[in-house]
């Protein structure tokens, strides 16, 4: 789960990372009032869950409350990479001398968190990583030992951080690590961590991704979820406990079990189709869950055919069939559907579906071929 900049920075601040004073506004008038409170010179920042807001015109410096109001009016409602801006963060402006990149993520190959740091932070960090990767320093963190003092000093020396900032940097690096570890994050990033003209360090931007599977033990973080910026299909999937990932193909897949879902996608590809999604309805799915899954698939306008592949173990074929009928009744799909039902109560399931307008298949190969052909015809 992604959380907004203002939320990430608040989490960082709880762990001792210095952040600018600021508040969120949802209207230009509110932006004016906050800017006035902060002394006039502020930065107006769109709160959307994508990177590169600065380059997209979603971050603007204001010299007085009037300008803050004007920028807020322009930025609120703006479309940034397909997301509509509904909130702006009004932060006290800082005088930037230089910008550092500081981030932590998991390195799957090394099986360890890794801290990445660069003296050339800011909006061009992707470019730095591409052209001069040696300018990004990596420090692996042993999850049992945590980030060590010597590692922090090593990093500070490597990026040639002025000596007088080392102590602050230690507090920030440690704070970021504690925030990352303590929140079960998969990314915690400050870009930029600035050195101000006054020669102090300040985290002016923040980004955090939280591991969805750990949210059950972070209710405070779970509550930060912004439904506004989530596709409706993802909300429905989460509420119904369905593992759903949208892809850009044309064959909607409804499968039980992650392994079978992967196999189904592979076979669709093998026969020249491309899956519109990964969807695992899980073991023991009931009619209600199946109907929700169906609604999600059919809400994707790219879907030209639906392939339902159910291997009944704990999941019962008749329950799946009931769910499908329920959903058809409600959604009235116009795309062709292919169903393959085997295992527990498959007979009963097939009998229930006999009158529905669906193609049936005995094997997965046959089902995939029929779905691909149907999608091509459509």
User: Going residue by residue from 237 to 276, which x/- string records binding to ligand GDP, judged by CB under 6 A?
Assistant: ----------------------------------------
- For residues 62 and 285, which CB has a smaller minimum distance to ligand GDP in the complex? 62
Spatial contact of 345 and 245, defined as CB atoms under 8 Å apart: no
Does 345 contact Mn ion by CB under 5 A? no
User: Going residue by residue from 66 to 105, which x/- string records binding to ligand GDP, judged by CB under 6 A?
Assistant: ---------------------------xx-x--x------
- Per-position b or e across 269-308, b if 16+ CB within 10 A of its CB: eeeebebbbbbbbbeebebebbbbbbbbbbebeebbbbbb
Does 346 contact ligand GDP by CB under 6 A? no
User: Going residue by residue from 153 to 192, which x/- string records binding to ligand GDP, judged by CB under 6 A?
Assistant: --------------------------------------xx
Query: Where do the DSSP E strands lie in the chain?
Result: 2-3, 22-25, 42-46, 59-62, 79-80, 83-84, 88-92, 96-107, 112-118, 137-140, 185-196, 201-203, 207-210, 243-246, 251-255, 277-280, 305-312, 337-343, 359-360
Does 282 contact ligand GDP by CB under 6 A? no
CA distance to 103, 176, 231, 259, 262, per residue, from 238 (Å): 28, 29, 11, 19, 19
Of the residues 99, 120, 189, 319, only one is catalytic, namely 189
Q: 62 by DSSP, 3-state: which?
A: strand
Q: 309 by DSSP, 3-state: which?
A: strand
- For residues 192 and 252, which CB has a smaller minimum distance to ligand GDP in the complex? 192
Q: List Cβ neighbours of 268 (8 Å cut-off, separation of 6 or more).
A: 249, 251, 253, 274, 275, 307, 368, 371, 372
- Residue 94's binding partner among ligand GDP, Mn ion, none (Cβ under 5 to 8 angstroms by kind) is ligand GDP
- For residues 99 and 319, which CB has a smaller minimum distance to ligand GDP in the complex? 99
- For residues 6 and 15, which CB has a smaller minimum distance to ligand GDP in the complex? 6
Annotated catalytic, 189? yes
Of the residues 6, 15, 32, 101, only one is catalytic, namely 101
**Which residues pair with residue 196 across a beta bridge?**
96
Does 115 contact ligand GDP by CB under 6 A? no
The catalytic site residues sit at 101, 189
Provide the binding-site residues for Mn ion, judged by CB under 5 A: 191, 205
Provide the binding-site residues for ligand GDP, judged by CB under 6 A: 43, 45, 51-54, 59, 61, 93-94, 96, 99, 122-123, 191-192, 204-205
């Amino acid at each position: 789960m992604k959380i907004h900049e203002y939320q990430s920075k608040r989490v960082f601040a709880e762990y001792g990372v210095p952040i600018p004073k600021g508040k969120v506004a949802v209207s230009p008038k509110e932006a004016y009032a906050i800017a006035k409170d902060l002394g006039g010179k502020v930065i107006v920042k769109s709160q959307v869950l994508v990177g590169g807001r600065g380059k997209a015109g979603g971050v603007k410096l204001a010299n007085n409350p009037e300008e803050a109001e004007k920028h807020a009016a322009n930025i609120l409602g703006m479309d940034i990479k397909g997301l509509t801006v509904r909130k702006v963060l009004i932060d006290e402006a800082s005088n930037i001398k230089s910008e550092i990149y500081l981030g932590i993520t998991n390195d799957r190959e090394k099986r360890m968190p890794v801290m990445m740091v660069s003296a050339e932070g800011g909006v061009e960090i992707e470019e730095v990583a591409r052209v001069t990767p040696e300018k990004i320093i990596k420090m692996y963190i042993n999850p049992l030992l945590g980030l060590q003092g010597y590692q922090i000093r090593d990093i500070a020396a490597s990026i040639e951080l002025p000596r007088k900032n080392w102590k602050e940097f230690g507090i920030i690096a440690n704070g970021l690590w504690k925030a990352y570890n303590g929140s079960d994050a998969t990314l915690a990033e400050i870009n930029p961590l600035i050195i101000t003209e006054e020669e102090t360090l300040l985290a002016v931007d923040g980004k955090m991704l939280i591991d969805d599977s750990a949210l059950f033990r972070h209710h405070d973080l779970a509550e930060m979820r912004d439904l506004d910026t989530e596709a409706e299909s993802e909300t429905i999937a989460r509420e119904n406990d369905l593992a759903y990932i949208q892809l850009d193909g044309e064959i909607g897949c409804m499968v039980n079990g992650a392994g079978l879902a992967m196999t189904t996608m592979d076979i669709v590809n093998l026969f020249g189709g491309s899956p519109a999604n990964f969807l695992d309805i899980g073991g023991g799915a009931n009619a209600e869950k199946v109907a929700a899954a169906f609604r999600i698939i059919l809400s994707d306008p790219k879907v030209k055919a639906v392939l339902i592949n159910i291997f009944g173990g704990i999941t019962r074929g008749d329950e799946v069939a009931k769910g499908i009928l329920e959903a058809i009744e409600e959604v009235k799909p116009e795309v062709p559907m292919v169903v393959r039902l085997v295992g527990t109560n498959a007979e009963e399931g097939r009998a229930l579906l006999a009158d529905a307008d669906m193609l049936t298949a005995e094997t997965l190969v046959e089902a995939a071929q029929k779905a691909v052909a149907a999608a091509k015809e459509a």
